[in-house]
Amino acid sequence: MDETLPQVLRADAQENRDRVLAAARELFARDGLDVTMRQIARYAEVGPATLYRRFSTKHALVVEAFMDELGACRGIVRDAVDDPDPWRAFCTVIERLAVLNAQNQGFTDAFMSAQPGAIDFAAHRSQMLQELSGIARRAKDAGALRADFVVDDFVLVLLAGRGLATAKINGRTAAARRFAALAIDGFRATDSNSPLSAPAQGTGR
């Protein structure tokens, strides 16, 4: 009993923390950074005291929620890196990033505007592009991805998909998946591929 109780308490604390971060990410994406701590606690179904025990200030919660968002992005890319099927890895990373982008673009934009120096976003972006390049290279080597695809095309998909953040919230996921499917179809290597124009410069920076 003496050993079990601390484990249960730690599990409860982690569950509450995860619920608060998930609620914060969703509310920040939907309503902006003016959402109050009390609103977040209510949405996460935890008491204000529990919220403030985990995050003593709203600034701390905002930064941690954004780090959680970046962690979700890294998790998607690393899952694709670990997938032994090159084309499935490519398709999955496109779809999952498109969905994440559509769901939470409002939070990302608000955070980067309000807290421009809070994290080293350039380092995160550089690492992600490097790993995405490897995913694309494997898909090309397997003959599944068109040969003229470049890593900046990943960025073009994400930039184009940002408009989905303005769609009704209950339709964003379906819209993002359809958008990703259309993009993937254009990236697939076929005998009928037409040559692409020169890549856009600087989209990956």
Q: At 188, is the secondary structure helix, strand, or coil?
A: strand
State the pLDDT at residue 86: 97
| DSSP calls for 77-141 | HHHHHH-S-HHHHHHHHHHHHHHHHHHHHHHHHHHHHH-TTSS-HHHHHHHHHHHHHHHHHHHHH
Q: Are 123 and 205 within one domain?
A: yes
The number of domains in the chain is 2
Residue 94 has pLDDT above 90, yes or no: yes
Model-level pTM greater than 0.85?
no
- Condensed to tens digits (0 to 9), the pLDDT of residues 155-205 reads 889 888 888 877 777 788 899 999 999 999 999 998 877 777 777 665 544
Q: At 145, is the secondary structure helix, strand, or coil?
A: strand
Q: Are 88 and 50 within one domain?
A: no
Query: Could you list the residue range(s) of the whole structural domain that residue 173 is in?
Result: 60-205
What CATH number did the domain enclosing 140 receive? 1.10.357.10
